[in-house]
Amino acid sequence: MLHTLAVLVENNPGVLARVSGLFSRRGFNIDSLAVGRTDDPTISRMTIVVEGDNHVLEQVRKQLDKLIDVIKIDDITSERYVGRELIIIKVNADAQARPEIMQIVDIFRAHIVDIGQETLMIEATGDADKINGLEEALKPFGIKEVVRTGKIAMLRGSKSTSLENEA
């Protein structure tokens, strides 16, 4: 089972290396990891998707709690949240293939962000199913390069993973 963790950490040099090193040393598999600064520049938020059963998840939480840079850990897997990924795909696109690719781009509500002589660069956001579907639909044209961000997620409604709920 995939678990989505929202982890608040100190925005200090080396924090990402310490967190990823912890996963590596303990043999936990990170399915995706996205990190960025929050509205408070001293705090960053990591969205970590980790695969494992409840025992693995408990071990991950305990190990993360031991890191001095980790402020808060929330498993939002069972909560209602909005999760998104960003993908940029460069595909082969000669003059004959472009109309069909553009139809696919419209169907997935993606965007063409660059046009080359023989390529198109396409950007899309959405949940993993949508991103995977777009990638599969474009494979027959010949994918030259793919970049994905990994999942970011935020709880729906008034719930939050911020520190304001701690008071």
pLDDT average, residue stretch 84-92: 97
Does residue 105 surpass a pLDDT of 60? yes
- Give the model's pLDDT for residue 13: 94
The confidence band for 164, taking pLDDT boundaries of 50, 70 and 90, is confident
C-alpha to C-alpha distance for 150 and 120, rounded to whole angstroms: 22
pLDDT tens-digit series, residues 4-41: 999 999 999 999 999 999 999 988 999 999 999 999 99
DSSP state of 22: H
In sequence order, the 6+-apart residues with CB closer than 8 A to the CB of 89 are 121, 122, 124, 134, 135, 138, 143, 145, 146, 147
Using one digit for the tens of pLDDT, what is the confidence trace for 33-48?
A: 999 999 999 999 999 9
Mean pLDDT, residues 106-124: 98
The burial of 104, by beta-carbon neighbours within 10 Å (0-12 exposed, 13-18 middle, 19 or more buried), is given as middle
**Reported pTM:** 0.84
pLDDT reported for residue 60 = 92
pLDDT of 166 strictly over 70: no
Q: Can you say whether residue 12 is alpha, beta or left, with left for phi > 0 and alpha for psi between -120 and 50 degrees?
A: beta
Q: What is the DSSP letter of 16?
A: H
Tell me how far apart the alpha carbons of residues 103 and 92 are, in angstroms, rounded to a whole number: 15
**33, β-bridge pairs:** 48
The tokens of 102 are what? 């553009």
